[in-house]
Amino acid sequence: MCCDFLTLSLKFFRKFALSIKLIKMGNSYIRISIYLGLILWFASCGLIDDKSKKSIKATDKSFDMAEIRKQGKLRVSIDYNSTNYFVYKGKPMGYQLELLQELCNHLGVKLDVTVSNDVEKNFKELNSCNVDLIASNLAITNERSADVSFTEPHCYTRQVLVQRKSNSRVLSELTSHFSPLIRNQLELANKSIYVQKGSAFYYRLKNLANEIGDSINVIEIPDYESEQLIGLVAAGEIDYTVCDENVARINAYFYDNIDFETAISFPQKIGWAVRPNSPHLLEEVNIWLKGFKKSSKYERIYQKYFLNPRSVHLVDAGFNSLKGGDVSIFDPLIKSESASFKWDWRLIASLIYQESRFSPTAESWAGAKGLMQLMPETAEVFGVHDVNSPEENIRGGIKLLKWLDERMAIRIEDPTERIKFVLASYNVGIGHVLDAMQLATKNGKNPKIWDDNVDFYLLNKSKPEYFNDPVVKFGYCRGQEPYQYVKEIIERYEHYKNVMRQ
């Protein structure tokens, strides 16, 4: 169609040029120049139907390892499911997440996670330079290699057909009878198989249809990830889906009526993807992966999520972000008490996890008690009569946060930046934070910015050259604890925002 349009356009332009006497028989070079100009113009508008134009090409903008280290973070798109990324009892977990955390520790940068189960969107975001790496179960294929650079594989698996066992009690909404289990790929002829949109499963099934010399009705579902489709098979809403065998294996622990014994592919490499114009990032990731896969730590991570039957409880138990979005039994209480404060309840939940792991009877070595670890004196000041009462403890903790926020507000206008100062004050006391701000001012740093400014001086306030400085009024402080406290709460809060509703 595009070629026809181009031909017609060239004919039109030639007639037009002839009518105004721009083209003469003896001036063929003008005609050639005009034709070439038109071709280039239409090509630039994307009208030439070339196979390479269909693929998503990386931006010309260079953003490689040097730029990543300069910005101090690796931006990663990750899919959200029970093996790669989720929150369990307040703690971010997942196979891909743990690998990425190890990688970022190796690279010396922070991990910045974006959650998306849309495969096509992830590729576009990567090549638009909005993320630096895609970390999901990507099968390394020639088709995809035209658009992205794949890393060293982090694991190997094969694609399998997921179907209900013949003794299943669940009747399909699409059929009124039970079908025997498919064990021969030839039996897939004329079957309807649902897969995640843009996934390698779609292309594999299309190739398989050619191989068996018959049609397979492959239906792409844009809003469902592999595990959700497995759930639909188990519930009888669809008959078949395809996924990676390691994912099917772990799902079989909590869907006892699914079968995944029928393979539809040879073993495949599963890897991450980076932009083609990020060769240094690719090289560093590959060097790290080759070494890390040989380590006992990698073995523990892989076994934890794919080979250990007990890992099913990470998803099947309560307070998993995949099962309704709850962090703890105290979520409604945290939301209710947080309504009087302008902080996101998920930030309060992250703080509570840090303080007590949601245990209302927790008590520290120093005597702090309850969900928000209130000291007896603090509890008394803020009207907490029963420190072990979840409601009173949370209310008292939020009152303390308000009090700290009001005092920091006269010094730090930016509410987002102020959060970090308030968190540090909650942990170690406002006096030590004010000292760190004074040290930052004295040493030419910004006293209103936490990262790489005030946090450095609080971290180092255990050193004599800092706690003995004349501007310091509150003396020695073991700064590592509040430094990590702020860092971990904020990081966990970002994970909570990724997977839980506000």
pLDDT value of residue 321: 54
Mean pLDDT (whole number) for 487-493:
93
2-16, 70-84, 376-390: least confident range:
2-16
Distance from CA of residue 436 to its chain's centroid? 34
Spatial distance between the Cα atoms of 172 and 178, rounded to a whole number of angstroms: 8
Spatial distance between the Cα atoms of 396 and 385, rounded to a whole number of angstroms: 10
Spatial distance between the Cα atoms of 276 and 150, rounded to a whole number of angstroms: 9
Q: What is the pLDDT of residues 442-455, one digit of tens each?
A: 999 999 999 999 99
Residues 285 and 301 both lie in one domain: yes
Mean pLDDT (whole number) for 311-338:
69
Last residue of a domain, one of 17, 34, 54: 54
Provide the mean pLDDT of the chain. 83
Spatial distance between the Cα atoms of 410 and 404, rounded to a whole number of angstroms: 11
Mean pLDDT (whole number) for 152-161:
94
Residue 310 pLDDT > 90, yes or no? no
In a domain? residue 319: no
Residues 118 and 253 both lie in one domain: no
Spatial distance between the Cα atoms of 375 and 363, rounded to a whole number of angstroms: 10
Known catalytic membership, residue 355: yes
Last residue of a domain, one of 244, 265, 286: 265
Mean pLDDT (whole number) for 167-176:
47
Spatial distance between the Cα atoms of 120 and 117, rounded to a whole number of angstroms: 9
Residues 414 and 482 both lie in one domain: yes
Residues 106 and 247 both lie in one domain: no
Beta-ladder partners of 192:
217
DSSP class of 453: I
**8 vs 245: which has the higher pLDDT:** 245
Residues 77 and 177 both lie in one domain: no
Spatial distance between the Cα atoms of 212 and 209, rounded to a whole number of angstroms: 5
pLDDT value of residue 170: 45
Mean pLDDT (whole number) for 292-311:
84
Residue 497 pLDDT > 70, yes or no? yes
In a domain? residue 33: yes
Report yes or no on whether pTM surpasses 0.75. no
In a domain? residue 321: no
Residue 135 pLDDT > 80, yes or no? yes
Q: What is the pLDDT of residues 177-186, one digit of tens each?
A: 456 899 999 9
Percent share of the chain, pLDDT over 90: 62
Cα angle, residue 18 at apex, residues 17 and 20 outer, rounded to 5°: 70
CATH at residue 306 = 3.40.190.10
10-24, 110-124, 186-200, 290-304: least confident range:
10-24
- In 3D space, the residue among 460, 366, 355, 442 whose CA is nearest the CA of residue 400 turns out to be 355
Residues 165 and 261 both lie in one domain: yes
- How far is the CA of 479 from the CAs of 356, 427, 457, 460, in angstroms? 20, 10, 8, 6
CATH at residue 419 = 1.10.530.10
Residues 214 and 299 both lie in one domain: no
| Single-letter amino acid, residue 34 | I
Q: How confident is the model at residue 36 (pLDDT cuts 50, 70, 90)?
A: very low
DSSP class of 306: I
pLDDT value of residue 60: 53
Beta-ladder partners of 134:
77, 273
Which residue's entry shows tokens 């008959």? 239
In a domain? residue 326: no
Spatial distance between the Cα atoms of 371 and 381, rounded to a whole number of angstroms: 17
DSSP class of 454: I
Spatial distance between the Cα atoms of 5 and 8, rounded to a whole number of angstroms: 5
- How far is the CA of 39 from the CAs of 23, 28, 54, 274, 322, in angstroms? 18, 17, 18, 32, 52
Mean pLDDT (whole number) for 324-352:
89
pLDDT value of residue 52: 36
Residues 280 and 354 both lie in one domain: no
In a domain? residue 443: yes
Largest interatomic CA distance in the chain:
102
- In 3D space, the residue among 99, 149, 130, 96 whose CA is nearest the CA of residue 282 turns out to be 149
Q: How confident is the model at residue 255 (pLDDT cuts 50, 70, 90)?
A: confident
Spatial distance between the Cα atoms of 367 and 361, rounded to a whole number of angstroms: 12
pLDDT value of residue 309: 61
What is the span of the domain harbouring residue 255?
159-265
Two structure tokens written together for 27: 């001036």
Residues 91 and 165 both lie in one domain: no
pLDDT value of residue 266: 92
Beta-carbon contacts of 303 under 8 Å, excluding residues fewer than 6 positions away, are none
pLDDT value of residue 423: 97
In a domain? residue 393: yes
Q: What is the pLDDT of residues 214-243, one digit of tens each?
A: 999 999 998 788 888 998 999 999 999 999
Q: Which of 98, 125, 337, 355 is catalytic?
A: 355
DSSP class of 278: -
Residues 152 and 274 both lie in one domain: yes
| Single-letter amino acid, residue 108 | G
Spatial distance between the Cα atoms of 177 and 175, rounded to a whole number of angstroms: 6
**122 vs 5: which has the higher pLDDT:** 122
In a domain? residue 376: yes
Q: What is the pLDDT of residues 48-91, one digit of tens each?
A: 333 333 344 555 567 899 999 999 999 999 988 778 888 776 78
Residues 71 and 175 both lie in one domain: no
Q: How confident is the model at residue 173 (pLDDT cuts 50, 70, 90)?
A: very low
**First-last CA distance in the chain:** 48
Beta-carbon contacts of 472 under 8 Å, excluding residues fewer than 6 positions away, are 435, 438, 439, 461, 466
In a domain? residue 325: no
Residue 323 pLDDT > 70, yes or no? no
Spatial distance between the Cα atoms of 79 and 151, rounded to a whole number of angstroms: 17
Mean pLDDT (whole number) for 259-277:
94
Could you tell me if 90 and 97 are in contact, meaning their C-beta atoms sit under 8 angstroms apart?
Answer: no
Residues 247 and 289 both lie in one domain: no
Q: How many domains does the chain have?
A: 4
pLDDT value of residue 176: 46
Residue 307 pLDDT > 60, yes or no? yes
Percent share of the chain, pLDDT over 70: 81
